[in-house]
Amino acid sequence: LILTFIKLLAYGMKSLRSCGVMNVFQDAVCTLNTLQTNASALEQVKRERGHPELQLQAMRGFLQRAGLKVDELDRLNIIHVTGTKGKGSTCAFTEQILRNYGFRTGFYSSPHLVQVRERIRINGQPIGKELFTKYFWQVYCRLEETKDAHGGSMPAYFRFLTILAFHIFLQEKVDLAVFEVGIGGAYDCTNIIRRSWVCGISSLGIDHTSILGDTIEKIAWQKGGIFKVIIWKKNTKLCMLRGFSCSLSVCPDLEEYQSEGSLRLGLAGHHQRSNASLALQLSHTWLQRHFLTGVIYIYDVFTGLAETEWPGRNQTLKHGPVTYFLDGAHTTRSMQACVRWFNEIAPQHERNAGGPVMRVLLFNATGERDCAAMLKLLVPCLFDFAVFCPNITEAIATCNADQQNFNVSVENMLTRCLDNQQSWRVLNGQEEKPGAELLIGGGLPLVPERQSHTLVFPCILSALQWISQGRDSVLSDPNRCVIPVKPSINAKADPLREAVNIHVLITGSLHLVGGALKHLDPALNS
């Protein structure tokens, strides 16, 4: 089965590597992608794994080679945000609030969903292709010209984008820049910032343990490494922070704020309320430091919360009879929030359906994620179908360099999908094999009364096309390639064709959600 999928993908992967014939923007993105796998970048990772302090030392060197000085970053009036979950949403709320005040904002986040330009935003919008290309080559050429004098070293992918963001925000003269930490905090390359105006830390959880440590205490220490002036979300571990010398504040519950009428958030999900409160405190602190004295207009603050958009997080897209629920949850804690949100919103749609509704799960996870634990949380949602696919947008790929990933082989991705399929079957009591407990341990609950069909597809597009069964006009473009499906697989789709509505939860990975949005929301490709 794996070999069959690899053959289907062979042509597409080959075409992705032939991007030199594309336009200048795609050429820039393809060149950027070489920093995922170049030998010097891999050597950096190996060398610095046991000495994380070398990461910031190397970052200072790359910044200087790119023509920037650390003290220049002070002009960006930076808000710096970290945390295990919620830091991206917190940044999005904060940026929108301050943009509503009329400030020219910069916003650096990761990962991107569809296009790499999304990581670097000016006034809430991804930087344009022309500007991205212009600034990319300015920075890349400076680093390329100096690499021979530095042992041939070039910054790895995320480091380069961080340097590029600094350069763009300085050149575009933003009034402030909101920076989301990549991983951790203390040794993250964004922490080259010396004087952020205010820092925020969202919720803590166990994630990236090979880098940050395997306890909350170790992870809290890493996150606290960005401290300058700090706002901390309520109910988070404060005892780990006592060794840091900075002003520390804990934000209140959102219900404690006074507003006229109900306070509405642009992002769905109960967990966004604590992110919104943290954003309010970050914005308030920044405004106070910026204005020193003066009136802070409550209307602009609450309007900012209501107008915030952050795709791929508790997002709903309705395409005729097919409704997609997208959330990039990829830890057990965030999956709990995702399930809570889905269980609240899906029944609301189903009550208005007027007939049978099919529930479909589209799932994938990457890295060191505990897939079994996340799938266990999804079992009570009672899906009629569970579909698994790798984070490959389409098997016969156009040259979409933005979503290339050279760090994981196709075979490994597909093997993981098959493992997830097996885990789902065991969790639902559909299949028990000798040794299955090695895959899923610890007395997991079985739900034998509802059978959930499982399938694995070679790419996101083929999975979406099969799930929607031609009922989503956005996916029914005759110019799209449709991968042939065996008659036996098509026969399983009868309930999908007969249902009044199809509800699809897409979760487990932001990269999966981004690949789905590439097909479901064409505007994101422009």
Is the pLDDT reported for residue 36 higher than 80?
A: yes
Identify the residue with better confidence: 37 or 340: 340
User: Does 110 count as an annotated binding residue?
Assistant: yes
* Residue 304 and residue 96 in contact, taking contact as beta carbons nearer than 8 Å: yes
| Cα(213)–Cα(244) distance, integer angstroms | 19
- 327 marked as binding residue: yes
The secondary structure of 246-310, three-state, reads: CEEEECCCHHHCCCCCCCCCCCCCCCHHHHHHHHHHHHHHHHHHHHCCCCCCHHHHHHHHHHCCC
Q: Who has greater pLDDT, 240 or 278?
A: 278
Per-residue pLDDT at 20 exceeds 60? no
pLDDT for the residue numbered 38: 46
pLDDT of the residue at 438: 29
Q: Which pLDDT belongs to residue 10?
A: 46
* Nearest Cα residue to 503 out of 387, 420, 395: 387
Consult the annotation and say whether 309 binds a ligand. Answer: no
313 is in an annotated binding site: yes
Q: How many CB atoms lie within 10 A of CB 327?
A: 25
Strand order in the sheet with 385-388: 315-319, 322-327, 501-507, 357-363, 385-388, 453-456
Residue range 350-396, pLDDT digits in tens: 998 889 999 999 999 987 789 999 999 999 999 999 999 999 998 76
| Coil vs helix vs strand at 364 | coil
> Is the model's pLDDT at 68 over the cut of 70?
yes
CA neighbours closer than 13 Å in the CB half-sphere of residue 158 = 18
For 423-466, the pLDDT digits (tens) are: 999 999 876 543 333 223 344 444 444 567 999 999 999 999 99
Is the whole-model pTM more than 0.75? yes
Residue 211 has pLDDT above 80, yes or no: no
The whole-chain average pLDDT of the chain stands at 83
pLDDT higher than 70, residue 225: no
Is 180 marked within a binding site? yes
Paired tokens of 379? 């079992």
pLDDT at 478 (0 to 100): 73
Backbone φ and ψ of 51, nearest 5°? -135, 75
Q: Considering only CA atoms, which of 326, 327, 330, 387 is closest in space to residue 361? A: 387
- Residue the block writes with tokens 């336009």: 23
